[in-house]
Amino acid sequence: MTSTLAGPSSGDDIAHTAVTDPDPAPRETANVTTLDLLALGAVLAVALLAWASLALAHVGWHSLPAAVGVTAVAVVVIGLVFAQQRMSVRGDRAGVVTALGCAAVAAALTFPGFSYGVADKDPGGYVSHAVEIAHSGDYAFTDPLLHDKVPVQLTSPGARFPSVWVRDMDTGRVVPQFYHLWPSLLATAYDADGFDGMRFAVPLMGVLSVLCIVALLRRTGTALAGPTAGLVAAAAGGLLLATNMLQVWQSRYPTTEVFAQALYLAALLGIVVALQTRWREAAGLAGLLVGIGWLNRADGLLLVLLSVGVGAALLATRRWDARATWFAAGLAIVVPHAGLQAYDLAHNYSIANDIPSLGKVVAVAVGCLAVAAVVRLVGSRPITWATSALERSRPQLVVGLLVCAGAAALLALGFLRPRLLGVDYFDYNGQSIRSYDEQTMRRLAWFITLPGFALMGLGLAAVGLRRWRASVWAVVLPTLLLFPLYAYSARNSTRLLWWTRRYVPTVLPGIVILIALALAVAWVLRVRGRAILRVPAALAVAALAAVFLSQSLPLRQHDEWKGSFQISAELADLAGDTHGVFLWEPQGEQGCCAGPTALFATPVWLVHDGLGALLPVDHNARNARLAAYAAHFPGRPVFVVGDDPELPDGIDPATVEPVMTRHVELPMWDESDTHRPDAAHQVGVDIAVWRVRGT
């Protein structure tokens, strides 16, 4: 029995990449598609808008007209650069229709995003910070209490409230937690259409990710097994990513992950286009997007360092060409701003996330380049021998087998880790708790399924055991490197779905890409001229999509913390036409997690300008603190907020009068450490507010 597999002449196999590109004249005409331009152009426009928003916020000039204006200038500059390129654009009706269909599925499952107006987790911090940026135009602000040396009870050392971190206690300078790209982009969305603008901005990132993965798989699948395989891979990958529960959740949840995913996939697409068409400007866009990814998330540094490593390998093996130069130039444009944020403007957050120091990062980069230079000078003969060997099919097969075996061993270790290594604990906010790191694969399998992981392994085999293509390996290699790194340790709470966000930017799309490539190869595989695996491949896509949809459709009817925006507004409106001062009962006295302080203290302050502070932990100091705040802010009403109709301990009832007593029910998706959450519940929140007499 013999089998054949349709394979294109894609022009980017390993043998072709062995030739350096001296930028011949006349330059080659890049052959790109309308799908390439649609996906890359859409993500690039949003990325430039986000970067412009951040740059303006960092200098205190953020506004909607300024952000749009700077973005327009950047687009014009890039357009002028591209105008110098001899580029042939061919239509790809099937690819565009597939991309738009998958994007429509993603949009139907995710628009609009959650009404996340509380501060219990990171999303609320991003939303509150975004509105503060929109109001002030600055990424940071001055706390009048700290600035005027009024006594303040801190939530924790260096934090007024969770995520409201104090940069300078003497001046009262506050720099909210996290990197600032995402809240700056949300601030621009808020300027455009208020809370609805922010709610729609989040799922838009998920739609952009789906567009990019379809375009990426269209090219990657074609390079691997022909045009038909490319279309099958694009359709399967786009559908599976759009319907996966992790993707649907993160595309409605206002955190950085899905935007990071869109930037990552667009950067991969730019690299693949550059490899397959020799369009060097596409590599420049890829470098630019990798740099913006570092502005977005602290772990974006990993992709920057991976780029440095690949660049060093290209130098050492004499494969550096104009495309690598353009990638490096695109990355270099953004790196100074990213470094400034990571090591100055948001340095405290970098330290909290164990980001290597600037000196270490520079040392690693310089070390890689130095090693590459030495190898290039003194190791040219063995390097030439090794690269020449890898251009032949037999060594490729051997190395491919080793890669597949290694990946299979790591997957097996991941699933067997609880039995092999035992129970694992880690330190979480000073508490030693069960980390569940040893159960990473089992927990991910709830969302990917075991057959999905099996198909992922087959996809890697399809890549590693055939004639190698540089563009295919460029897509697969980051997954092989980053998946084990992220799976080794969760580095965050074990609660689901919160725990899974770590895998969304790179690991989830990497898994989907390998599954899609496996299905595409199965579709075109012929045994004695017959495509015997098409029915199994179609059934596999249908089964996975059905499982993913069964998990995701309940989210379609859910709106996390719906009604929270209105409650914050009602509390702030108690002050009438002025801005009130709110003293909140410390969270520890309210119980865990769902008290009004944890939920609304930050948004009432940052979103509605109702200055907030905690009541002193020392009950005996509370009356004096109320009097001090009333004296310091004449003409502004001062309020006490608790979670019980009974006045908080230590406050003289004669000095206050009740103004609000509310009980509200807010929807929240279930959280669990032991199973996949599949339903929502109502969180009851009691709010009681008193006004200090005479204010």
Read off the pLDDT of residues 539-598 as tens digits, 9 standing for 90 and up.
999 999 999 999 999 999 999 999 999 999 999 999 999 999 999 999 765 555 678 999
Predicted confidence band at 22 (pLDDT cuts at 50, 70, 90)? very low
Question: Is the torsion defined by CA of 565, 570, 574, 578 positive or negative?
Answer: positive
Amino acid at 134: A
Instruction: Report the candidate in 493, 684, 458 with the shortest Cα–Cα distance to residue 590.
Output: 684
pLDDT in tens, 28-44: 556 899 999 999 999 99
Pairing relation of β-strands 581-584 and 611-614? Answer: parallel
DSSP codes, 653-674: GGGEEEEEEEEEEEEEE--BSS
CA distances from 666 to 252, 503, 599 (A): 17, 28, 11
For residue 395, pLDDT over 60 is answered with: yes
Q: What's the start-to-end Cα distance of the chain, in Å?
A: 90
Give the neighbor-by-neighbor strand order of the sheet with 173-174. 141-142, 173-174, 164-168, 159-161
Predicted confidence band at 133 (pLDDT cuts at 50, 70, 90)? very high
- pLDDT confidence of residue 23: 36
**Distance of alpha carbon 174 from alpha carbon 189, whole angstroms:** 23
- pLDDT confidence of residue 593: 60
For residue 600, pLDDT over 90 is answered with: yes
DSSP codes, 519-583: HHHHHHEEETTB-TTHHHHHHHHHHHHHHHHHHHHHHHT--TTTTHHHHHHHHHHTTTTS--EEE
CA distances from 577 to 267, 636, 659 (A): 48, 10, 16
**Distance of alpha carbon 292 from alpha carbon 331, whole angstroms:** 8
Three-point CA angle 522, 460, 475, nearest 5°: 105
**Distance of alpha carbon 426 from alpha carbon 334, whole angstroms:** 35
Residues 6 or more apart whose CB falls under 8 angstroms from that of 183 comprise: 126, 127, 129, 130, 133, 139, 176
**Distance of alpha carbon 226 from alpha carbon 238, whole angstroms:** 18
pTM here is: 0.94
Q: Flag the least confident range among 261-270, 521-530, 550-559.
A: 521-530
> Exposed/middle/buried for 486, CB within 10 Å: 0-12, 13-18, 19+?
middle
- pLDDT confidence of residue 276: 94
- pLDDT confidence of residue 674: 85
- pLDDT confidence of residue 439: 86
What percentage of the chain has pLDDT greater than the value 90? Answer: 79
Q: Flag the least confident range among 210-214, 276-280, 428-432.
A: 428-432
Backbone angles phi, psi at 32, to 5 degrees: -110, 165
Kindly report whether the peptide bond that precedes residue 616 is cis, defined as omega within 30 degrees of 0.
no
HSE toward the beta carbon, residue 521, CA cutoff 13 A: 24
Average pLDDT over every residue of 605-629: 94
Are 281 and 81 within 8 A, CB to CB? Answer: yes
- Angle separating helix axes 393-421 and 470-488, nearest 10 degrees: 10
**Distance of alpha carbon 497 from alpha carbon 673, whole angstroms:** 9
* Higher local confidence (pLDDT), 589 or 376: 376
Q: Flag the least confident range among 254-258, 486-490, 634-638, 674-678.
A: 486-490
* Higher local confidence (pLDDT), 122 or 85: 122
Strand partners, 640: 583, 690
Instruction: Name the maximum alpha-carbon separation found in the chain.
Output: 94
Exposed e or buried b for every residue in 134-143, given b needs 16+ CB within 10 A? Answer: bbbbbbbbeb
Average pLDDT over every residue of 344-354: 92
Instruction: Report the candidate in 443, 460, 476, 463 with the shortest Cα–Cα distance to residue 408.
Output: 460
pLDDT in tens, 404-435: 999 999 999 999 988 888 787 877 767 777 77
Rg (CA), the chain: 27
For residue 17, pLDDT over 70 is answered with: no
- pLDDT confidence of residue 683: 94
- pLDDT confidence of residue 692: 94
H/E run at residue 272:
helix 257-277
Instruction: Report the candidate in 390, 386, 388, 371 with the shortest Cα–Cα distance to residue 316.
Output: 371
Average pLDDT over every residue of 180-195: 97
Average pLDDT over every residue of 436-446: 90
For residue 5, pLDDT over 50 is answered with: no
pLDDT in tens, 136-157: 999 999 999 999 999 999 998 8
> What are the residue boundaries of the structural domains of the chain, listed by start?
3-113+185-556, 561-692
H/E run at residue 71:
helix 64-83
